[in-house]
Amino acid sequence: MTTKKSSAGKGEGAKSEVRISVADQVRELTIETAADRDEVVALITKALDSSQPLILTDTRGRQYVVPANKIGSVEIGDISERRVGFAGA
């Protein structure tokens, strides 16, 4: 019997977590994507420069479309392995 967790599930293949605040909305979008930080920055910059919608695909294959003129701010972070336990307490 083994206790090793399956690598399948949330966050599989995820490289970046993107948080986008959308104008006129209270909640922000949080997207886990397989794109790395540089790819995400390039997509956001292209959308803002061309006034075209930002289209991001998450790790489950869902697409998010955000109008460029509604992007308030963007936070891009790397996905880190989530630790369980009291080792850091």
Instruction: Write down the architecture of domain 16-78 according to CATH.
Output: Roll (2.30)
The one-letter code for the residue type at 34 is A
User: Where along the chain do its domains lie?
Assistant: 16-78
- Give me the DSSP letters along 59-89: TTS-EEEE-GGGEEEEEEEE--PPP-SSTT-
Query: What span, in angstroms and rounded, lies between the C-alpha atoms of 17 and 40?
Result: 10
Query: What span, in angstroms and rounded, lies between the C-alpha atoms of 7 and 13?
Result: 10
pLDDT at 82: 62
pLDDT in tens, the chain (89 residues): 444 444 444 445 678 999 999 999 999 999 999 999 999 999 999 999 999 999 999 999 999 999 999 999 999 998 776 666 676 65
pLDDT at 74: 94
Does the pTM exceed 0.75? no
